[in-house]
A and B are shown apart, each in its own frame.
Chain A
């Protein structure tokens, strides 16, 4: 190490004497020495984002090392931009938004957003990152009918009007909406963000406005795609970084094109973050992504083949991993999942069976099912008693949390359940003491699951017995995700089992769209959701007054320019959500094992784990993780 530093200092002294203040990362050394790459200080923006690593209670580290992690398939290459989590704005562990790629962001009336870029910020290939990259994305892609036939995505539309885009100067751009758009920055900071900028310098060669059609046709054939649009799409895809040529602003840039069994990502030499001592981040030189069958990921992790792993590990693996801790150099931590509920029952309010539809739309039915579940038993049997017995709602970690949301209709009260069911007219019992529906059929609910999570089957086995005690039969039907989704959308599913709210830790500034019918993915009201998403062109209009109220409140939230007002709207929506039991939660705050190499530093011991809004590890800045010298 020492020897190498001397070499750099010696070789580089003549050329870049004032700039070589620190040692370069080992893998960048040769290029800098040869002069292929400018030295670090010349690569950083004038005002890099300074991460106060020590201030976060972590250790300042050094550059170098390769982190290996395992994924279940080649498509999971998309996990790296999620872990790396460079966004215009980003969330931290405190769930607050802060500028990341941006130097600053001015917001006026929640509708005029002015982005200030960092001066001297460069793409990973060294070309400057400027307002031109925003213009390219805006004019040549987002507002180009070749790519978006129906116009720009809804996230850029407010009250039917597309935002206006202005370039103020080389490093300043502005997006203005006609009405408040509080969801704009959260969308930009999402794990799968709204893409507002693209590397124009690189992508112009694939765009018809800048390149001759014949040339594009030839490239399209070479890349085995139909036309230049698909070519552009393929070459510009940043959420699945399969094109190693595509310049990026993320901490690591891909070096391997699929197909491969191992994907190598290498540090972005122009990354815009530094630690407080001035060392350019990320600390880790390389990230290697090994592809393995998801069934063996746990075993591989336990033998130390992964330096950082949470994907494909479940709580039930903890004992085994903990045992492996003794024999292999790894550490196991338990994080809490940020979902609203680990396993949720979702009665389909849009199911085609008229009797069940009527029952599920009656709040008494949903409440009866909820209080019939013995959550304590589920928690004890499957979560070692460490989960929190709760309705499917926000977690205590969220600033919007109130205890009554979690406890609403989450008590175990079979008498109340029986009473509610009797009131509903299900008071005739048939064989096996199972109730009969009004039309004489047996009150048997078919619950469908995607069959991906063994935990769901176990929970359902327990719930089946709880339901039998109040005279409801439960049949479990396992299918596959795609079949299941399309059946749900067709109303053929009576009840689904899924995990609870994706984002269990929202703040008032995050959209409450998950607790109102907003997309067709919502299994409790797929038709109402797709009706809203498609602005009434598909699905069907919601009918329940409570659901209409949720939609009205969602609209109110979207139009609100005041944070206090948004918090209030959230509160009203959560109250309705809790009282109406549109999804029946079981246990939340389930634990997620996080395994790391014993040498890997700065990984939090106890934190929240989730996709939205935390980007799994992303909010915890994996660029500050580093390997301690053995």
Chain B
């Protein structure tokens, strides 16, 4: 090959300027792919968050649940009354409307005072608003005394009725107890029972499913059969049977713990299965093989390589289990075999509202279904969002 043949290829003479522009900036081969770079280097958590953010409803649900769970920490402060404060002059009082304007003038949030009359014909209490009595609500005020978390005495409330007035935003029950306050206190029990129950089933699921999946063999076979049996039993009758075993003489708080345990004990099966199948799949992955070839021990392989692989998935499925727990508690308490007064949960509140009387005459006592529905929906959306986010590469 001669030099002339090079020239024929269109290259200039050696040392002559090129016929087109060449940038003299340093060359970076990844510059055009900058976004990909971030994704490649992002942690699993960041990836999930980006993916999760796209699911708008899940994001809203997360915020809602965060607010609600924060609320149960301070329910003494949030509720206008104590959960057991009775007001015998306001039995079965319907919800009060909050007004802002009186006679066209702005006065801020207030309620009208009410007068109660007894209808001796139907034995019903009738409440009528008295427009002359404008009872302005107070905020960050001193009201019913309480023991914060059962320990610290206090009396600060977010909102209180006017001095000598009453404020029943959601009405009162048969002993004149404020429904709103009872719902707020009930949330503390109902929502924690979901979390505690799931924690319990989470631990059981990971341990039992983990051993079954990693060890395999006869243990796996036995566990699988046990799970099949447990899953084939209809849940409500089984709960009923287990709840019926709880001695009637136990204190309510102990019953609460027991119900949690019962709910958790019956719920681990799905999780155990998921853990087991994930482990079985991950065990065969190339990176696990690579780790093993590099001499990593079992603990390191499970902890460092496998758990991150299925944890996100587990969180998602656990989130979807919580509403089941909450509904389980509500159902058990509603049937009268779950929690017992004086413990107040949403299920208890609904039990008190199940007679025909209430539905026909005092429908506001059924309001605790609203938070139940909202929380369940929020958990379901959140779980949905998490499940999408759990596998961000998809």
Chain B contacts with A in 161-199, Cβ cutoff 8 A? 174-176
When the two chains form their complex, are residues A477 and B248 in contact, meaning their CB atoms are under 8 A apart? yes
Nearest first, the 6 closest Cβ-Cβ pairs linking A and B are: A479-B248, A322-B122, A299-B356, A319-B124, A381-B88, A318-B123
- Interface status of A320 (Cβ within 8 A of chain B): yes
When the two chains form their complex, are residues A483 and B248 in contact, meaning their CB atoms are under 8 A apart? yes
Known contacts A319-B361, A458-B174; decide if A480 and B248 are in contact (CB<8 Å).
yes
- Interface status of A457 (Cβ within 8 A of chain B): yes
B118, B174, B340, B360: the one contacting A323 at CB < 8 Å is B360
Chain B contacts with A in 323-354, Cβ cutoff 8 A? 340-342
Min CB–CB distance A508 → chain B (angstroms): 36
- Interface status of B4 (Cβ within 8 A of chain A): no
Chain A contacts with B in 261-304, Cβ cutoff 8 A? 295, 298-299, 302
- Interface status of B121 (Cβ within 8 A of chain A): yes
- Interface status of A476 (Cβ within 8 A of chain B): yes
Known contacts A299-B356, A316-B357, A319-B357; decide if A384 and B118 are in contact (CB<8 Å).
yes
Closest-by-CB residue of B relative to A446 is B249
CB-defined contacts of A298 to chain B, threshold 8 Å: 355-357
Alpha-carbon distance between A479 and B175 when the two chains are bound, in angstroms: 22
User: What is the interface residue range for chain B against chain A?
Assistant: 20 to 34
- Interface status of B386 (Cβ within 8 A of chain A): no
When the two chains form their complex, are residues B342 and A476 in contact, meaning their CB atoms are under 8 A apart? yes
Min CB–CB distance A6 → chain B (angstroms): 48
- Interface status of A159 (Cβ within 8 A of chain B): no
Chain A contacts with B in 314-367, Cβ cutoff 8 A? 315-320, 322-323
Min CB–CB distance A389 → chain B (angstroms): 14
When the two chains form their complex, are residues A317 and B357 in contact, meaning their CB atoms are under 8 A apart? yes
B88, B123, B249, B361: the one contacting A477 at CB < 8 Å is B249
Min CB–CB distance A432 → chain B (angstroms): 9
CB-defined contacts of A380 to chain B, threshold 8 Å: 88
Q: Other than the known A299-B356, A317-B357, A458-B174, what 12 A-B pairs have Cβ atoms closer than 8 Å?
A: A295-B355, A316-B357, A319-B122, A319-B124, A320-B361, A322-B121, A322-B122, A381-B86, A381-B91, A381-B175, A462-B86, A478-B248
Min CB–CB distance A143 → chain B (angstroms): 43
Min CB–CB distance A220 → chain B (angstroms): 36
19 chain-A/chain-B pairs, Cβ below 8 angstroms? A298-B357, A299-B356, A317-B357, A318-B122, A318-B123, A319-B124, A320-B360, A320-B361, A323-B360, A323-B361, A380-B88, A381-B88, A381-B175, A461-B86, A462-B175, A465-B86, A476-B341, A477-B249, A480-B248
Proximity string of chain B (116-160) to chain A, C-beta cutoff 8 Å, 1 when within and 0 when not: 001001111000000000000000000000000000000000000
CB-defined contacts of B123 to chain A, threshold 8 Å: 315, 318-319, 322, 384, 386
Proximity string of chain B (88-123) to chain A, C-beta cutoff 8 Å, 1 when within and 0 when not: 100100000000000000000000000000100111
Closest-by-CB residue of A relative to B354 is A295
CB-defined contacts of B84 to chain A, threshold 8 Å: 461
When the two chains form their complex, are residues A479 and B121 in contact, meaning their CB atoms are under 8 A apart? no
Min CB–CB distance B92 → chain A (angstroms): 9
Proximity string of chain A (357-390) to chain B, C-beta cutoff 8 Å, 1 when within and 0 when not: 0000000000000000000010011001110000
Min CB–CB distance B341 → chain A (angstroms): 7
Min CB–CB distance B165 → chain A (angstroms): 20
Alpha-carbon distance between A495 and B174 when the two chains are bound, in angstroms: 25
Alpha-carbon distance between A317 and B341 when the two chains are bound, in angstroms: 22
Alpha-carbon distance between A469 and B213 when the two chains are bound, in angstroms: 61
Min CB–CB distance A321 → chain B (angstroms): 9
Min CB–CB distance B39 → chain A (angstroms): 60
Chain B contacts with A in 60-105, Cβ cutoff 8 A? 84, 86, 88, 91
CB-defined contacts of A295 to chain B, threshold 8 Å: 355
Known contacts A476-B342, A477-B249; decide if A381 and B357 are in contact (CB<8 Å).
no
Closest-by-CB residue of B relative to A451 is B248
CB-defined contacts of A478 to chain B, threshold 8 Å: 248, 340
When the two chains form their complex, are residues A457 and B341 in contact, meaning their CB atoms are under 8 A apart? yes
Closest-by-CB residue of B relative to A374 is B88
Min CB–CB distance B48 → chain A (angstroms): 47
Alpha-carbon distance between A125 and B357 when the two chains are bound, in angstroms: 45
Proximity string of chain A (161-191) to chain B, C-beta cutoff 8 Å, 1 when within and 0 when not: 0000000000000000000000000000000
Alpha-carbon distance between A479 and B357 when the two chains are bound, in angstroms: 25
CB-defined contacts of A462 to chain B, threshold 8 Å: 86, 175
Min CB–CB distance A379 → chain B (angstroms): 10
Alpha-carbon distance between A384 and B122 when the two chains are bound, in angstroms: 11
B86, B174, B356: the one contacting A302 at CB < 8 Å is B356
Proximity string of chain B (216-260) to chain A, C-beta cutoff 8 Å, 1 when within and 0 when not: 000000000000000000000000000000001100000000000
Alpha-carbon distance between A478 and B124 when the two chains are bound, in angstroms: 29
